[in-house]
Amino acid sequence: MSTPHNAADKGEIAERILLPGDPLRAKFIAENFLENARQYSSVRNILGFTGTYRGVPVSVQGTGMGIPSIAIYVHELIREYGVKKLIRVGTCGAMHNDIQLRDIVIAQAASTDSSLIRNIFGPSINFAPIADFDLLSKTVEQAKAKGLSFKVGNIISVDRFYDDDIDNDRLCKYGILAVEMETAALYTLAAQFHVQAMALFTASDHLLKGESCSAEERQTSFREMISVALDTIIQD
């Protein structure tokens, strides 16, 4: 069995999966963190791998950028392949003065300017896409145990990376910590299909301070985030 977007056979994808946006990050995670990793798909260059981490089967797959792209992959992972725990590991633009570049942002909830929620619920309900509480609390425990600098709260998943019209001041005023482009879809699909999802990011750029990470800084903070995500996802 395969889907139009995934060459994996049933059973080739683990119930626990990490989801970076960038397929090459999926390859990096498979090669540097998993044991006996085997590639199951490269359709559209969206690479997916399954291996083990501390003896537990774990997969890792790219999602591409933006809500329509992640929604395709996540829908199929849950419905066709039976994935039960999904952790997005991404980057974000920080929108809060207490967040430094390279800090970890843990998305308790994901606001969005996408039409996704409206298309499902109609104009009168503003559904709130939220993280699975169990995965969220375990992620926080892991980040604390590793002594990492992190912040937990609401983020926004936007449809436009280049958006001159976005009102950052208002978003900040209401406690939005960061901007990225996928999590609202992940949390909404997890709610629809009753599975567990969580997202965490490293702050790769800072919208208020106008700073961004060097390539090397990105790599180090990315490694820290991956170890938090893997030590969380293998727990029962």
Among the residue ranges 7-15, 123-131, 173-181, 221-229, the one whose residues contact ligand HPA (CB under 6 A): 173-181
Q: Which is nearer to ligand HPA, 137 or 168 (CB)?
A: 168
- Specify the pairing of strand 150-157 against strand 178-180: parallel
CA distances from 36 to 31, 124, 128 (A): 9, 49, 38
Output 113 or 205, the one with its CB closest to ligand HPA: 205
State which residue, 17 or 207, has the beta carbon closest to ligand HPA: 207
- Pairing verdict, β 85-94 and 56-61: unpaired
- Binding of ligand HPA at residue 64 (CB under 6 A)? no
Q: Which is nearer to ligand HPA, 158 or 189 (CB)?
A: 158
Site for ligand HPA in 75-94 (CB under 6 A): 91-93
Taking the complex as a whole, the smallest distance from the CB of residue 204 to ligand HPA amounts, in Å, to: 5
Tell me the C-alpha distance between 190 and 12, whole Å.
21
- 174 forms part of the interface with ligand HPA (CB under 6 A): no
CA atoms within a 13 Å half-sphere pointing along the CA-CB vector of 92: 35
Rounded Cα gap, residues 180 and 183, in angstroms:
8
Question: Rule CB under 6 A: is residue 69 a binding residue for ligand HPA?
Answer: no
Report the candidate in 104, 107, 106, 108 with the shortest Cα–Cα distance to residue 202: 104
Mapped onto helix, strand or coil, the DSSP state of residue 141 is helix
Minimum Å gap between C-beta 207 and ligand HPA is 6
- Choice among 22, 134, 159, 205 that is catalytic: 205
Return the residues of window 204-233 that contact ligand HPA according to CB under 6 A.
204-205, 207
Question: Is 163 a known active-site residue?
Answer: no
Amino acid at the residue 234: I
Contacts to ligand HPA by CB under 6 A: 91-93, 158, 161, 179-181, 204-205, 207
